Structure 1
Amino acid sequence: MFVVKAFDAISKESGRIAITEIVCNMLRTVIETTPDDLVAVVYLLANRIASAHEGLELGIGDASIIKALAEACGAKEAHVKKQYKELGDLGLVAKASRSSQPLMRKPEALTVAKVFDTFRLIAKESGKDSQDKKKNHIKALLVAATDCEPQYLIRLLQTKLRIGLAEQTLLTALGHASFYSLRHSSPPAKVENPLEEAAKIVKQVYSVIPVYDKIIPALLSAGVWNLTKACSFSPGIPVGPMLAKPTKGVHEIVEKFQDMEFTCEYKYDGERAQIHYLEDGSVEIYSRNAERNTGKFPDVVAAVTRLKKPPVTSFVLDCELVAYDREKQKIQPFQILSTRARKNVLLSEIKVNVCIYAFDILYLNGQQLLQEQLNVRRENLYKSFQEEVGFFQFATALTSNDLEEIQKFLEDAVNSSSEGLIIKTLNRDATYEPSKRSNNWLKLKKDYMESIGDSLDLVPIAAFHGRGKRTGVYGAFLLACYDNDKEEFQSICKIGTGFSEAMLEERSASLRSKVIPKPKSYYRYSDSLSPDVWFEPTEVWEVKAADLTISPVHRAAIGIVNPEKGISLRFPRLLRVREDKNPEQASSSDMVADMYNAQKHNQRDNLDDNEDD
């Protein structure tokens, strides 16, 4: 009940500071009274049951939840479905469906440990009657639930908690709570703001070890100031990949990296992967979202095992897996790679070959290398592996600050079917920064030469029915970017052109199952838009546009560039669906504002611009 009351309090607040305070006080209470529950409480607040790399999911659809809810309340399934349609939130249906069944004996009150353990049990059920067993577990929880517990139980089970609590806020609150509660030692002498520093430490450690089961026991036993020592990066747990910032042209790069040595590498159009080789010879492959992809790439497991040099006993490799035609010795586009099966791939049945393009090494023979400069990490990378064309190659690289040379290198990259270049500092400010979009890595894509530079990753939140030839499918979609601070999706454009009929049918079919009765409270859009249907935020689309413009209708980055107006895209077109991203990883409103400002800056440089915003 205590946790649910906190959920309720958080959902009623919109300010980040107020939410951080509520979560901090809640965590302090747990630390003081039942510290053994802290791991479970933090996972429930994050609306997860395990860290991403464990791949443990509840595996239950709405149908099972509706069945369990109907049985627990003594209602008919049809009645529950009808209410769901009206209210648009199964949690609210559960709250309204007080059980009318008399119970022989009152079940024991739900505890945090009981709920969390049951969730993990549900996730681990497999085999013939697993859906039935899962449903019975849910029913038992609902029968014991009181007050507003059913509402949040259901939302947790649907992994749609949606109380406005972002993971970064949760980590900040955990840092604050551990500073107040765990006075193992006083802060280091130079720290001016210990509260901020505690939050920074927790976030930093989480980017290297995104596993609460490891961080929280270390916090409780060693305290926040010793957390970095107590939790160090090791193979088997993926770190958040370092990301690059978009840039508009070679001139900008040379300007940004004045007086610094930097290197350019081909930016390959494949799937980012982190390959972990453990002391016992086992290999794990993780996606950019820390999901375990080992079963998808048995050929990659075989290649790294074969091509590592004999002295190498353990490593963590940052690389791109790219579809490759070994007969023609040619890179193939991402679309070909995306046709590979996702799970339990057999070596004998692989039709799309991949080549590993390695560009960084984060751990080698028991030593972590995150704090080493790139030139040192790269030296370690080159000496640890044997290249073999079409199986394992180092990213093609050039170290130069000659404009013409870099321009030529960019053209070569594009001609070799790469997307462009990634430019990195080499021996100063060149450590590996997990989960950060750093100024020390810049990306320069071929598209940047044409128009607004980078493509954007956007989330379809609504659609308009097709007319004429497009009757029966959606004719246009409303896309949104994500505001990390406000935790809301903000509309940025309508997109209806550039779709082949097959693509339109595919996207419409995929989104039909995601229709919701009304827009989410965290969608920002103009009332003048009035779409025909709204969607649960589930997909991420990569979109290219001619330029960005100030808009009275759209709400992207509202208040950043203009106090009352947002930014919209002109002539957007769909490039592809990004299956490696979840909606909260869509392009941020800050990034949209940066792109708009960079475009204005570039237009001014051209002098022939006559702005009309």
Structure 2
Amino acid sequence: MDSDEIMGSGPHQPDIPEDLDEKYPNRPHNRGPTLPFHDLYINLFNPLNEVKKKPAGPAPVRRKLGPHGKSAAGLNPYERRRDVIERFISRWRKDVGDDIYPAFRLILPDKDRDRPMYGIKEKIIGKMLVKIMKINKESEDGYNLMHWKLPGQGATARMAGDFAGRCFDVLSKRPMRTDPGDMTIDEVNEKLDKLSAASKEDEQLPIMKEFYMRMNPEELLWLIRIILRQMKVGATERTLFNVWHPDAESLYSISSSLRRVCWELHDPNIRLEGEERGITVMQCFQPQLAQFQMHSFEKIISRMKPTEDDNVFWIEEKLDGERMQLHMTPDDSVEGGRRFGFWSRKAKEYTYLYGNGIYDENGALTRHLKDAFVDGVQSIILDGEMITWNPEQDAIVPFGTLKTAALSEQRNPFSNGPRPVFRIFDILYLNGRDLTKYTLRDRRNALQKTIRSVHRRFEIHPYQEATTTAEIETALRTVVAEASEGLVLKNPRSPYRLNERHDDWMKVKPEYMTEFGESLDLVIIGGYYGSGHRGGHLSSFLCGLRVDETSRGSEPESMKCWSFCKVGGGFTAADYQEIRHNTDSKWKEWDIKKPPTEYIELAGGDAQIERPDMWIKPSDSVVLCVKAASVAASPTFRMGLTLRFPRFKKLRKDKDWKSALSVQGFLDLKSNAEQEHKEKEFSVDNSRKKRAKRTTKKPMAVAGYDQNVNLQDLGPSGHVFDGLNFFIMSESTVPEKKTKPQLEHLVKTNGGKVFQTKAAAADMICVSERRTVKVASLQKSGDQNIIRPSWLLDCLKQNEKDAGLPDFLLPFEPKHMFFTMEDKEEEIAANVDKYMDSYARDINVDELKEIFNQMNKNQDQPNSPLDPTTIQRIESQIQDKVNAGYTAPRGWLFRDLTFFFYTRPDESNGDEQTRKHIRLRLAQNTARFAGAQSAASLKDSGITHIVIDTESSFSVDLPSVRKSLAENLGKKLPHIMKKDSKFGDDKKLS
């Protein structure tokens, strides 16, 4: 839209395009021209800043009363700010009219979504001012403008870090006018619209020159802040909105439109109706945000106001992408009958990138959403995160590649390269109904019934229900181990709160935790100047790894370091002072044409990625102890790897650059850490409040690592898992608790190989008992069984019991399966009977009780014996195992044998007869369990063994027994055994 169409040419009232005129039929009209631009800083910006600087003093004589009946000078700071704003707005209404939109566009430039971004930053403005004022860029003033973050030269040094302030100092020396200019607010808006539309310097320069010619230095200072959208006026938009209209903040939250706030709420006596307070499809809203949390997990949970009946909270993985809202509405003008809209958290529209319809050829996402909504869904608003997914790695790509992936997807929608994926975690509008007042639990239920997930394109973000702090700790360990962003804890009983940070959503990031990540000693090789209150000083540092150019253990011959990470968090004023004290006069300015490659190697070669403002020789520098959550790949640093969430912990005065961490030393640490992942306790990091001094250095700490745990004691070793590949995705909680590293150790010590991705090897056995993101991904694919960790433990226990026999794997049982492929369900079910009793392993007491319970439940149901065909199939499977070399199961030990239990009446007392009866019954049951047949009489044919109870009171005359048997059975005699004999041992009687 052309700026002339928006602003018009008349001084009193801009012409409004016809579509906006129809959209806002009751828009206000101004009676007179807008106020001069200088009125903004004289009567609004400067007075607001004065409130911030000075405490309230005694009321001057004849001072106008404020809104609360007090003199304006006697009000508290908040009331004084309101008084300044109210007086400005009152003057506008009186002298101009009810349309304050032109002024609010300049007062709140960062909230004006109707004006595109200028694409102009400090460096470009500095270059243009140098040209406009015709000064040498190498002069003191030219240098100060082009290097605004540096301390500067002369009097301008005090403005380091404040670009607009530095411009004011330079402009004040050579102004075109000293008195306020004559440009009106309308004229400034018109020129700014043209500036935002200009894309080249030769288009931008004349506009900036006109501003310079018609404004004094103070006006230009505020103009530059408006262009940079960095106002710093001492009052928030909330205060301005509340003074303008009691419903202004609410309307902005649901619309993100400054124009609507000004045009629809121009009369403070007319309030929004109930329906007007809700979100509307195709109107971008301000989303709910997660609260930063620095308290204990117990306090986090208590703030979500649990009840005795409902103390559940939800745990979601915090995704490393861009917050995005999706709108869909019926529209016959769009092919497919549905129109889509996408907006970011800051109300930037991305429909051009992700698509406006199902058949939009430029839609990186919408072309895949034809079947993503159930029948009956007409209009909808979804809240979620747009992430980049790498199909080859089946993993999220770190933030920063989203737009590139979307553009690539536009060109080739079915490639196997990185692609945008929309992860949905909330639904806020459905078929004309605003759902924000419903609880999160109700909204999630509606979401599940409304959306059909499109694999790796359009998915519902999973969550985990929890009630204890231990579950938060476990989840946090998992996301850190997977180099994820962190967690978001949510209250399922809460409504959706537009444009708020509230305790109902709390984020827990790894950098908020202590003893949870690597602690490394790095040497400073560069520094970056800060802005604002850190202006004029190095506020963040480039840290490097020493390059080993000699053999291990000898003195390094070179001081060269590779760039590794940038650290700017965790420093106190005392820390900065100590670093300055130890490096004073040793810093050198970075020269792009002559980089110090002898000492420092950056990424990107000649591109010099992440080049610092200043650099220092490693031998002149200091060593920092840096803590981070994890290590991640990064093309930004020469090492190719960097630290995620690095934070300064302390200055290592006991170390110099020669003893700082080297490239090879870091790689060794990384390799060891990956091999020795163990569980480790951690606590909330309160270092941002007051960091306690440490007297000793802690060793490198890695998520899940505990030096007090001896992995060798965690289980047996053997060859049960020889030749098998495992991908273990979660810990074990039943039948016993074992961490993921402990399970991996058990697999390795019993012959198996462990990998960290499914695609790393063939015939992978995937193990988990918890639905993590990776597990959910495998489950949705449907082509991979997921085994519970209990199967690993059962295999090891069974082989321990059968010590001395060849190692063997248990077949999978239903209880072992977290997810079963459809074509494997029948095969796995056949490994247990109808009461879930295993055919292949010994069960424990608890399992036996559960089997009895199942039998009791089925007592009233008609018996359904196994089909003979099924029995034959099971027997055939077992026989195949035996033929292949496996030991026959105990239930087949006496298979094809027939036993007769020999006894005769005697004169023993009643108790002895009872014991004798019990002994024989136990022997008979044992034989039956092992597959033997039982003969009722010596005259029965086929008897292979006769069992005699040698513990009875009568003596056995073996010759007479054999003679008796010969008469009844013929020539071939069966074996005669003691009752307690083992089959085939030396306890046979004959």
Offset of residue 361 of structure 1? 1.0
- Find the counterpart in structure 2 of residue 397 from structure 1: 463
Offset of residue 445 of structure 1? 5.1
- Find the counterpart in structure 2 of residue 332 from structure 1: 396
Summarize the Cα distance change of 1:470–1:37 in structure 2 as closer, same or farther, 3 Å threshold.
farther
CA-to-aligned-CA distance 1:453-491 (integer Å, 9 cap, x gap): 9xxxxx88442698994799899865489xxxxxxxx86
Matched, 1:176 2:243: yes
Summarize the Cα distance change of 1:3–1:393 in structure 2 as closer, same or farther, 3 Å threshold.
same
Q: Partner amino acid for 1:258?
A: P
What SS does the corresponding residue of 1:433 show, helix, strand or coil? Answer: coil
Q: Partner amino acid for 2:428?
A: L
- Find the counterpart in structure 2 of residue 116 from structure 1: 189
Q: Is 304-313 or 362-371 further displaced after alignment?
A: 304-313
Q: Partner amino acid for 2:212?
A: L
Rounded Cα–Cα distance in structure 2 between residues aligned with 1:177 and 1:100: 34
Q: Partner amino acid for 1:134?
A: Q
Summarize the Cα distance change of 1:548–1:431 in structure 2 as closer, same or farther, 3 Å threshold.
farther
* Equivalent in 142, 158, 162 of residue 81 of structure 1: 142
Summarize the Cα distance change of 1:153–1:406 in structure 2 as closer, same or farther, 3 Å threshold.
closer
What SS does the corresponding residue of 2:645 show, helix, strand or coil? Answer: strand
Offset of residue 379 of structure 1? 1.8
- Find the counterpart in structure 2 of residue 3 from structure 1: 40
Q: Partner amino acid for 2:171?
A: A
Rounded Cα–Cα distance in structure 2 between residues aligned with 1:310 and 1:409: 36
Q: Partner amino acid for 1:217?
A: W
- Contact residue 542 and residue 612 of structure 2 kept, 8 A: no
Summarize the Cα distance change of 1:514–1:310 in structure 2 as closer, same or farther, 3 Å threshold.
farther
- Find the counterpart in structure 1 of residue 249 from structure 2: 203
Offset of residue 442 of structure 1? 3.0
Q: Give the structure-1-normalised TM-score.
A: 0.64
Offset of residue 359 of structure 1? 1.1
- Contact residue 480 and residue 491 of structure 1 kept, 8 A: no
- Find the counterpart in structure 2 of residue 262 from structure 1: 312
Q: Is 402-411 or 353-362 further displaced after alignment?
A: 402-411
CA-to-aligned-CA distance 1:544-578 (integer Å, 9 cap, x gap): 558799xxxxxxxxxxxxxxxxxxxxxxxxxxxxx
Aligned ranges for residues 161-560 of structure 1 at < 5 Å? 161-162=231-232, 164-166=233-235, 169-178=236-245, 198=246, 201-221=247-267, 223=269, 225-226=271-272, 230=276, 232-234=278-280, 235-246=282-293, 251-252=298-299, 255-256=302-303, 257-259=305-307, 260-279=310-329, 280=331, 281-295=338-352, 297=354, 298-304=363-369, 306-326=371-391, 330-334=394-398, 338=401, 341=404, 344-349=407-412, 351-401=417-467, 418-419=484-485, 421-427=487-493, 430-444=494-508, 450-451=514-515, 461=534, 462-463=537-538, 469=559, 479=569, 502=602, 510=610, 512=612, 543-545=645-647
Identity among equivalent pairs (%): 15
Rounded Cα–Cα distance in structure 2 between residues aligned with 1:278 and 1:122: 33
What SS does the corresponding residue of 2:272 show, helix, strand or coil? Answer: helix
Matched, 1:58 2:118: yes
- Contact residue 451 and residue 547 of structure 1 kept, 8 A: no
Rounded Cα–Cα distance in structure 2 between residues aligned with 1:49 and 1:57: 11
What SS does the corresponding residue of 1:399 show, helix, strand or coil? Answer: strand
Rounded Cα–Cα distance in structure 2 between residues aligned with 1:417 and 1:321: 18
- Contact residue 9 and residue 22 of structure 1 kept, 8 A: yes
* Structure with higher RCO (Cα < 8 A, 6+ apart): 1
Rounded Cα–Cα distance in structure 1 between residues aligned with 2:46 and 2:301: 51
Summarize the Cα distance change of 1:512–1:45 in structure 2 as closer, same or farther, 3 Å threshold.
farther
Rounded Cα–Cα distance in structure 1 between residues aligned with 2:499 and 2:573: 26
Q: Partner amino acid for 1:274?
A: M
CA-to-aligned-CA distance 1:202-261 (integer Å, 9 cap, x gap): 334333333211111122146474387656422341423321443666655554543134
Write 1 or 2 for the structure with the bigger share of helix: 1
What SS does the corresponding residue of 2:265 show, helix, strand or coil? Answer: helix
- Find the counterpart in structure 2 of residue 46 from structure 1: 108
What is the aligned residue count?
483
- Contact residue 332 and residue 417 of structure 1 kept, 8 A: no
Offset of residue 282 of structure 1? 3.2
Summarize the Cα distance change of 1:593–1:112 in structure 2 as closer, same or farther, 3 Å threshold.
farther
- Find the counterpart in structure 2 of residue 138 from structure 1: 208
Offset of residue 358 of structure 1? 1.3
Summarize the Cα distance change of 1:407–1:72 in structure 2 as closer, same or farther, 3 Å threshold.
closer
Summarize the Cα distance change of 1:21–1:382 in structure 2 as closer, same or farther, 3 Å threshold.
same
What SS does the corresponding residue of 2:384 show, helix, strand or coil? Answer: strand
Rounded Cα–Cα distance in structure 2 between residues aligned with 1:398 and 1:355: 21
Q: Is 281-290 or 212-221 further displaced after alignment?
A: 281-290
Q: Partner amino acid for 1:431?
A: P
CA-to-aligned-CA distance 1:109-164 (integer Å, 9 cap, x gap): 200111012101211234xxx432222122222222247323323343344444x4
Offset of residue 319 of structure 1? 1.5
Q: Which sections of structure 1, spanning at least 5 residues, go unmatched?
A: 179-197, 454-458, 482-489, 516-540, 550-590, 601-613
Offset of residue 542 of structure 1? 7.0
What SS does the corresponding residue of 1:134 show, helix, strand or coil? Answer: helix
- Contact residue 243 and residue 435 of structure 1 kept, 8 A: no
What SS does the corresponding residue of 1:434 show, helix, strand or coil? Answer: coil
Rounded Cα–Cα distance in structure 2 between residues aligned with 1:241 and 1:269: 16
- Contact residue 473 and residue 505 of structure 1 kept, 8 A: no
Rounded Cα–Cα distance in structure 2 between residues aligned with 1:452 and 1:32: 61
Summarize the Cα distance change of 1:92–1:265 in structure 2 as closer, same or farther, 3 Å threshold.
same
Q: Which sections of structure 2, spanning at least 5 residues, go unmatched?
A: 1-37, 54-76, 146-151, 160-165, 332-337, 355-362, 518-529, 545-557, 580-599, 616-642, 652-683, 694-990
Summarize the Cα distance change of 1:244–1:299 in structure 2 as closer, same or farther, 3 Å threshold.
farther
Q: Is 206-215 or 286-295 further displaced after alignment?
A: 286-295
Matched, 1:98 2:175: yes
- Contact residue 27 and residue 177 of structure 1 kept, 8 A: yes
Higher radius of gyration, 1 or 2: 2
Rounded Cα–Cα distance in structure 2 between residues aligned with 1:447 and 1:150: 41
- Contact residue 74 and residue 99 of structure 1 kept, 8 A: no
Summarize the Cα distance change of 1:360–1:512 in structure 2 as closer, same or farther, 3 Å threshold.
same
Matched, 1:29 2:80: no
Q: Partner amino acid for 2:205?
A: K
Offset of residue 29 of structure 1? 1.8
- Contact residue 473 and residue 508 of structure 1 kept, 8 A: no
Offset of residue 376 of structure 1? 1.9
Rounded Cα–Cα distance in structure 2 between residues aligned with 1:108 and 1:448: 50
Summarize the Cα distance change of 1:146–1:251 in structure 2 as closer, same or farther, 3 Å threshold.
closer
RMSD: 4.8
Offset of residue 509 of structure 1? 5.1
What SS does the corresponding residue of 1:30 show, helix, strand or coil? Answer: helix
